[in-house]
Amino acid sequence: MTARVHRDAHGIPHLRAADPLALVRAQGRNAATDRAWQLEVERHRAQGSSAAFLGPDHLDWDVFARRARLADTARRCFAALDEPTAAWVRAYVAGVNEGLRESARRAPEFAAAGLAPGRWEEWTPLALWLSHHILFAGFPGKLWRDRVARVLGEDAVHLFATDGLPASGSNGWLVAPERTAAGAALIAGDPHRFIETPGVYQQIRLACPEYDVVGLAVPGVPGIAHFGHTGEVAWAITNSMADYQDLYHERLRRTPAGVEARGPDGWHPAEAHTETVEVAGAEPVAVEVVETERGPVIAGGPDGDGRAVSLRYPPRVTARLGFEVLPALLRARTVGDLDRALDGWAEPVNVVLAADTAGGLLHRVAGAVPARDPRNLVRPVPAWEPGHEWHGWQPLPRAEVRGAAVMANERGLAGPLGIEFCAPYRAERIAELLADGTGWTTERMAAVHTDTHLASAAPLLDLLATLPDLGPEAAALRTELLAWDRRMDADSVTAARYAELRSAVVRRYAATPELAGLAAPDGLPPVFAPWLSATARIGFALPHVLGTGLLPGIDPAALVRAAVEELAAAGPTGETWGERHRLHAWSALPAEEARPGPALAGDHDCVLATSCVPGITDLSARASAARLVWDLADRERSAWIVPHGAHGDPGHPHHRDQHPLWLSGALTPVVTDWTRLTEENSGH
């Protein structure tokens, strides 16, 4: 049997082939057919060449990708693969190259950008994976804590912990068989990422005599890594928030022989060479790439005072990404199979929930977390001091599932592996909703996915309630806010008023003399700006900041009073939250998404985690990159949805046909009956 492509009513590809190699080749060709522009943008981003056709706005990323040595690390990791996995990846790449040139002719973005499709190398999928996840563990947060310590003192280093930068916001939960209507487990989730056009996840089915799996693939990467259902076993993940990347303060110098770096036992040669980044509409930029014994230098360099920062991350050290796990996941039939496969996982470090049709349940962390001094987790450490080396790998926690299990980036199962996690509000709310009885079904999960209750509003509203002697307008606004149900619904005027007050308080905090110094530039690369914005940090950590004793010079009550009086004096706008809180999807060609999109409900601490940046913007660039429910009683009772649609071509009928469902919180059924699918062709 040659590989065949079938489609359901939403154009979701279902691929069939005679064996795994033919199937993964078909997957590569399908990725090129459906997502040619996306694949090429991501390939260029992974190798640091996107500015050559997208212009100067993409230069900062390209410089980081070169300095962090993403492409070279991908080459190393590919070279270390066992031969069966390497052959499997090569087959995928061959499929991409077969389909790319023809598909690019139909994708209008190539002509608009003046880009011709290139040729994928055997290591390119690994480079894409690294590019997607190199910032996943949030190592720039260590640069932020370093700044906080310098400006506010060592005692304040954790002042802005939320836990963590909560814009990631992914959720997952498992309901055990005794709590479901069908007597088999249900797994649900919604990974949160930047919303892109087209989306970062592709709904797909991969079928051959050896296995038949539905799930969410990352275009450009073979197999189904994060969310899959084989018929017998299903799994889903969230970001564990584990800390597995280190930053080192380096001292560099030039000598006649080259660049040297100072380590614990003196000066040692560092690798150094220069690369050129082409920039559309501007002069090329020369980038010096330096790597010390710790890792690649990502900030600073050997000139001037020689201060620099290097990054140490597991794939660069071990030449392992965990790609050997990908084909093993497709073959899994039980949670035991899945568990054994995940022992080889490396990047990123995830919390996994899984269940099988025999009643097996799994809740564990998977990935590679180095064992090292706890100081390494807080901020950059001096490269010239001993004691900051890695010494082996940490054991990965797991837990028994009793009734239900929740994962929402909180300080839970992965707590021993990091220091900052997302605030517990989402995890606690999901657990509260799941505690409501038994008889759970796929259909009932929508109420969890779309829940808009904002528990993190309590600290601000509680403080507001204590303020004496407010003016009449401010007192009336307070009465309105205190009577609010704390739901960030799109049609709620009071939710919008709360968001206005929150932002006003955040801006007043950021302007205080005590905190203004946190905004001072310190020469770090612009690619890290989202982690280094003082206003954003205050906004996300506001519930904690309002109650801290670490800022004795700031009176929270006075700031809230001034903010509510200011807001009341301006008068009501009549705007709803949805009118302010709109989707702002990312596109490599901004003209495609030049204006903010449709209204959204939710907020960054809601289960419906549509993240804005309090104090800066109410627009949302992050939201559910997919929603899913895996039913272990019957895979056809599973359901899923993605923003936009299955196809990347803006003119294609399936480019945006799932978007209205995604906006409404609805899911579309997973179809596995081949007779209900339409065969696209019989070739390839």
**What would the two tokens of residue 167 be?**
């814009």
pLDDT at 352 over 50: yes
Beta bridge partners, 337, equal: none
pLDDT of residue 404: 96
* Side chain identity at residue 569, one-letter code: A
Lowest mean pLDDT across 156-160, 166-170, 314-318, 508-512: 166-170
pLDDT of residue 166: 42
Q: Kindly state the percentage of the chain with pLDDT values over 70.
A: 98
pLDDT at 684 over 80: no
171 to each of 184, 351, 683, how far by Cα in Å?
A: 21, 10, 39
pLDDT tens-place string over residues 505-555:
999 999 999 999 999 888 999 999 999 999 999 999 999 999 988 898 999
Question: DSSP code of 43?
Answer: H
pLDDT tens-place string over residues 311-327:
999 999 999 999 999 99
CA angle 114, 119, 122 (to 5 degrees): 145
pLDDT at 257 over 70: yes
Mean per-residue pLDDT for 600-612?
Answer: 95
d(CA 47, CA 437): 51
How sure is the predictor about 164, in pLDDT bands with cuts at 50, 70 and 90? very low
**What would the two tokens of residue 276 be?**
């050129």
Contacts of 259 by beta carbon, 8 Å cutoff, 6+ apart = 252, 253, 269, 270, 271, 272, 290, 302
Number of alpha carbons in the 13 Å side-chain half-sphere of residue 238 = 34
Q: Is residue 31 within 8 Å of residue 96, measured between CB atoms?
A: yes
pLDDT tens-place string over residues 392-402:
999 999 999 99
Mean per-residue pLDDT for 107-127?
Answer: 95
Alpha helices in 484-582 (DSSP H): 493-511, 513-516, 529-532, 534-540, 542-545, 556-570, 577-580
Identify the CA nearest to 518 among candidates 542, 540, 537, 546.
537
Question: DSSP code of 573?
Answer: -
pLDDT of residue 663: 96
147 by Cβ neighbours in 10 Å (0-12 / 13-18 / 19+) ranks as: buried
pLDDT tens-place string over residues 276-299:
999 999 999 999 999 999 999 999
pLDDT tens-place string over residues 29-58:
999 999 999 999 999 999 999 999 999 999
- At 586 the three-state DSSP class reads strand
Q: Kindly state the percentage of the chain with pLDDT values over 90.
A: 91
Mean per-residue pLDDT for 141-152?
Answer: 95
pLDDT of residue 591: 58
Q: Which domains does the chain have, with CATH numbers?
A: 4-136 (1.10.439.10), 140-165+453-486+493-575 (no CATH), 246-312 (2.30.120.10)
Identify the CA nearest to 190 among candidates 169, 215, 171, 173.
171
pLDDT at 682 over 60: no
Type and span of the H or E element at 289: strand 285-291
**What would the two tokens of residue 529 be?**
């700006």
Count how many residues are written for the chain.
Answer: 684
d(CA 335, CA 401): 13
pLDDT tens-place string over residues 571-601:
999 999 999 999 999 888 875 445 678 999 9
